[in-house]
Chain A
């Protein structure tokens, strides 16, 4: 069965530290990939997405992610985090055909210390 793994469940960083959150998926076909963020008390919102083309995608608020097909990975990065980045981050994968099912990872809770 398809699955998405986020290995870091809780991450604590100081402001200005660099961030990398891991995401690996199990499906071998063509996929679309997403990172969503959920700020405290708010709804999930799209951070960035990869459909095709340049494997390095840039999203909102200085986030970027790199799709490495050979590693089935889509890691999220930010060079310098801010206190306002404290949130829960979810990676999601969907096959490009045959299903409308998105598969979400279990999430990573990021706490940024001021």
Chain B
């Protein structure tokens, strides 16, 4: 079974801090994604990556960056955290090949910015 592991379940940081959220998948998937989930807004795509060192902006990339140095790891970086980035962050992965495949999600990181 696919395992997508997010490094922290809960995280509290202060305004202006640089924040790293880590995600690791164990199924050799090519594609990885970062979303934020807010009540009434569903899941909004921040960034995704379809290969090592490749990244593409999603719908709400402002204030975020990502890093994919290894296939299994996809990091989300909040360059200078702000209170409006308080949210639930979800990482997902999916394979390529044989058409589009469903995504597999991690448990999420609930991030609070004070």
Contact = CB atoms under 8 A, between A and B. Distances in A.
A44 B108 CA distance: 9
Interface string A86-114: 00001000101000111011110000000
B12 interface: no
A5 to B, nearest CB: 10
A94 B42 contact: no
Nearest to B38: A106
Given A9-B40, A104-B42, A105-B42, A43 B31 contact: no
A70 B94 CA distance: 29
A90 B99 contact: no
Contact of B102 (A43, A46, A100, A101): A46
A96 B98 CA distance: 11
A104 to B, nearest CB: 4
A32 B105 CA distance: 18
B42 A100 contact: no
B105 A96 contact: no
A102 B106 contact: no
Given A49-B102, A51-B99, A51-B100, 6 more contacts: A43-B90, A44-B92, A45-B105, A96-B99, A104-B43, A106-B40
29 contacts: A6-B42, A32-B99, A32-B100, A34-B102, A36-B105, A42-B107, A43-B105, A44-B90, A45-B105, A46-B102, A49-B102, A51-B99, A51-B100, A94-B100, A96-B99, A96-B100, A100-B50, A100-B56, A100-B94, A101-B45, A101-B48, A102-B45, A104-B35, A104-B42, A105-B42, A106-B40, A106-B42, A107-B42, A107-B43
Interface of A: 6, 9, 32, 34, 36, 42-46, 49, 51, 90, 94, 96, 100-102, 104-107
Interface of B: 4, 31, 33, 35, 40-45, 48, 50, 56, 58, 90, 92, 94, 99-100, 102-103, 105-108
